[in-house]
């Protein structure tokens, strides 16, 4: 029975990839037709690219999970962790929907920065009402601390809203958002497996494969942008898996580039942009004063593709370092 469970999980993970591949190609045509496009600011010609492709990723991810749930219930006669999985799906879908709203209103009318956390606050509700996670956390210098009701009512929403919005601040380069999400979720999935939490590993790698399917169209030169529909949803999923798998420390380490980016944001009062000035030779010129981690890397890595590769490499090194510290 265990072998059949793993085979079904593998099939559903692959389904997430192929469904996302198909839906992304379909979405590109739809977005062009309805005029949902945006400028690629890192290209000399500022070409118009279809936006909000993250919708395809989330639908591919959810399709893979729903397929697994179907066989789990009707073929394996098991309902283990079902409430937690459905709460995860609800939060991710809600994040995707709110991210899509932000995509439309943010560019057309302009959402203020303080409005975005309020907009994303409902994302945490499904996890709050089922009291997900463990209320006891290990705090440096203090040791284990039981937060009791403060955990579901304060810490869970802070973590989810913070991750949803935080994952959105380091963006704007072809393949960056989807690539970073795939790396972070891969490490969370691996560690969940070490913790003997295969159901969390399944969720993580359904998302990873969906992101890889999207990257086929989002890698340089991108034919579609992810939009906030993806960044809000993937940030939310990262926080949820960290909470469900007690992997908060790992998630914090993997979010170090985003904490650095937050410092730049605070210095510029959230008015900075990540991109550089595109040159005719395909390179990017950083501004005189760096207002993003990407601008710092631009001084050493001149092209968009190499900047993204550098950020992904940093993320992989952080993940490997965290594994060595906490688990090996």
C-beta neighbour count of 217 within 10 angstroms = 21
**Between residues 114 and 31, which one has the greater pLDDT?**
31
Give the model's confidence band at 61: pLDDT under 50 very low, under 70 low, under 90 confident, else very high.
very high
Q: Decide if pLDDT at 1 tops 50.
A: no
Domain boundaries, the chain: 2-254
> Region 50-73: what's the mean pLDDT?
95
Q: Decide if pLDDT at 123 tops 80.
A: yes
How many angstroms from the chain centroid is the CA of residue 195? 22
> Region 296-313: what's the mean pLDDT?
94
> Region 267-288: what's the mean pLDDT?
84
> Region 271-285: what's the mean pLDDT?
84
Q: Which residue has the tokens 């692959």?
A: 14
pLDDT score at 117: 77
Give the model's confidence band at 112: pLDDT under 50 very low, under 70 low, under 90 confident, else very high.
low
**pLDDT single digits (tens) 207-240:** 999 999 999 999 999 999 999 999 999 999 999 9
Strand partners, 144: 138
C-beta neighbour count of 114 within 10 angstroms = 8
Give the model's confidence band at 85: pLDDT under 50 very low, under 70 low, under 90 confident, else very high.
very high
Give the model's confidence band at 145: pLDDT under 50 very low, under 70 low, under 90 confident, else very high.
confident
Q: What is the largest CA-CA distance in the chain?
A: 62
Which residue, 175, 184, 173, is CA-closest to 234?
A: 184
Give the model's confidence band at 133: pLDDT under 50 very low, under 70 low, under 90 confident, else very high.
confident
pLDDT score at 111: 58
Per the prediction, the chain carries an average pLDDT of 90
pLDDT score at 17: 98
**pLDDT single digits (tens) 251-272:** 999 999 999 999 998 888 777 7
Which residue, 80, 98, 89, is CA-closest to 61?
A: 89
Q: Decide if pLDDT at 286 tops 90.
A: no
Q: Decide if pLDDT at 48 tops 60.
A: yes
Kindly report the length of the chain. 328
Q: What is the rounded CA–CA span in Å between residue 192 and residue 184?
A: 12
SS (HEC) of 109-133 = CCCCCCHHHHHHHHHHHHHHHCCCC
> Region 168-192: what's the mean pLDDT?
96
Global pTM value: 0.94
């Amino acid at each position: 029975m265990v072998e059949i469970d793993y085979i079904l999980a593998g099939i559903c993970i692959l389904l997430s990839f192929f469904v996302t591949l198909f839906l992304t190609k379909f979405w590109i045509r739809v977005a062009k037709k309805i005029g949902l496009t945006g400028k690629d600011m890192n290209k000399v010609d500022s070409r118009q690219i279809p936006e909000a492709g993250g919708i395809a990723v989330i639908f591919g991810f959810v399709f893979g999970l729903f397929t697994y749930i179907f066989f789990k219930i009707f073929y394996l006669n098991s309902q283990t962790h079902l409430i937690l999985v459905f709460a995860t799906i609800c939060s991710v879908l809600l994040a995707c929907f709110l991210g899509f709203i932000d995509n439309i209103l943010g560019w057309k009318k302009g959402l203020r920065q303080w409005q975005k956390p309020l907009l994303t606050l409902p994302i945490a509700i499904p996890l709050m009402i089922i009291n997900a996670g463990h209320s006891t956390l290990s705090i440096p210098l203090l040791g284990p601390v039981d937060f009791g009701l403060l955990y579901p009512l304060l810490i869970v929403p802070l973590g989810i809203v913070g991750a949803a919005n935080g994952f959105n601040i380091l963006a704007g380069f072809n393949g960056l958002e989807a690539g970073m999400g795939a790396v972070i979720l891969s490490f969370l999935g691996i560690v969940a497996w070490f913790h003997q939490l295969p159901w969390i590993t399944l969720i993580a790698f359904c998302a990873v494969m969906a992101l890889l399917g999207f990257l086929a169209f989002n890698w340089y030169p991108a034919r579609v942008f992810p939009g906030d529909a993806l960044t809000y949803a993937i940030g939310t999923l990262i926080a949820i898996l960290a909470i469900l798998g007690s992997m908060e420390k790992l998630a914090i380490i993997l979010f170090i580039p985003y904490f650095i980016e937050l410092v730049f944001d605070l210095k510029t009062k959230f008015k900075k942009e990540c991109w550089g000035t595109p040159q005719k030779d395909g390179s990017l010129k950083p501004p005189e004063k760096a207002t993003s981690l990407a601008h710092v890397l631009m001084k050493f890595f001149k092209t968009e593709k190499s900047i993204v590769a550098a950020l992904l490499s940093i993320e992989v090194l952080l993940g490997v370092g965290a594994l060595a510290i906490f688990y090996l």
